[in-house]
């Protein structure tokens, strides 16, 4: 059984994951309108992953006798200054998510809720991967420096990355 304190902290994380999904969905839609189909595909996939993170939390809360609350959606930005600016936002957002996950882990230890602590380890590992990926993508963009030919190749690279991620996700099911 979850304590009210842990239940409420987990529901806050549900909200953050839901907002992350909306945020990346807005970036994907914007990228598509800019002719960056590979970037769009990558970000649509990322938005789906965040939604999956949200649902995984909701199900865990419910399994432990709590109530996973579906959050209200907040409107994300509609446009972004550039692809690089969008990925800078992805990285800073992922760092924020990691900080919140770490706080949650700390709360679980203080409350001696080792079951939730154990469940959250999956999120800890996922955040390491997501931050590393965002940094890798940003490094590539910095190398390109807004050059059109480079951006074209970058877009194709992200298309390949999105396809590989989708294949991994299917294999995991």
- Is the CB of residue 38 less than 8 Å from the CB of residue 159? yes
Instruction: Decide whether 97 or 137 has the Cβ nearer to ligand FEO.
Output: 97
Among 27, 89, 97, 108, binds ligand FEO (CB under 6 A): 97
Supply the minimum distance, in Å, between the C-beta of residue 53 and ligand FEO. 4
Closest CA to 98 of 72, 138, 129, 61: 129
- Is the CB of residue 84 less than 8 Å from the CB of residue 142? yes
**Within 13 A of 92's CA, how many CA atoms are on the CB side?**
5
In the complex, which residue's CB is closest to ligand FEO? 53
Supply the minimum distance, in Å, between the C-beta of residue 48 and ligand FEO. 11
Burial of 105 (0-12, 13-18, 19+ CB in 10 A): middle
Instruction: Decide whether 126 or 144 has the Cβ nearer to ligand FEO.
Output: 126
Compute the distance between CA of residue 57 and CA of residue 158 in angstroms, rounded to an integer: 28
Instruction: Decide whether 3 or 102 has the Cβ nearer to ligand FEO.
Output: 102
Cβ of 65: how many Cβ atoms within 10 Å?
9
Q: What would the two tokens of residue 122 be?
A: 């999956």
Compute the distance between CA of residue 85 and CA of residue 66 in angstroms, rounded to an integer: 39
Contact positions with ligand FEO (CB under 6 A) in 52-71: 53
The verdict on 130 binding ligand FEO (CB under 6 A) reads yes
Compute the distance between CA of residue 13 and CA of residue 3 in angstroms, rounded to an integer: 15
Among 7, 94, 113, 155, binds ligand FEO (CB under 6 A): 94
The verdict on 50 binding ligand FEO (CB under 6 A) reads yes
The verdict on 20 binding ligand FEO (CB under 6 A) reads yes
Instruction: Decide whether 19 or 41 has the Cβ nearer to ligand FEO.
Output: 19
Among 2, 7, 10, 17, binds ligand FEO (CB under 6 A): 17
| Site residues (vs ligand FEO, CB under 6 A) | 17, 20, 50, 53, 94, 97, 130
């Amino acid at each position: 059984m979850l304590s009210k304190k842990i239940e409420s902290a987990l529901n806050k994380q549900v909200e953050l994951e839901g907002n992350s999904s909306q945020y990346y969905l807005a970036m994907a839609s914007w990228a598509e309108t800019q002719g960056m189909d590979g970037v769009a595909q990558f970000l649509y996939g990322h938005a789906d992953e965040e939604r999956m993170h949200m649902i995984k939390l909701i199900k865990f809360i419910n399994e432990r006798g709590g109530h996973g609350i579906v959050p209200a959606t907040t409107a994300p930005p509609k446009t972004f200054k550039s692809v690089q600016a969008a990925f800078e936002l992805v990285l800073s957002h992922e760092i924020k998510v990691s900080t919140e996950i770490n706080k949650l882990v700390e709360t679980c230890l203080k409350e001696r809720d080792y079951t939730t602590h154990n469940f959250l380890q999956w999120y800890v590992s996922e955040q390491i991967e997501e931050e590393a990926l965002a940094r890798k993508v940003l490094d590539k963009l910095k190398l390109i420096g807004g050059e059109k030919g480079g951006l074209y190749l970058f877009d194709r690279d992200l298309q390949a990355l999105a396809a590989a991620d989708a294949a991994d996700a299917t294999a995991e099911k």
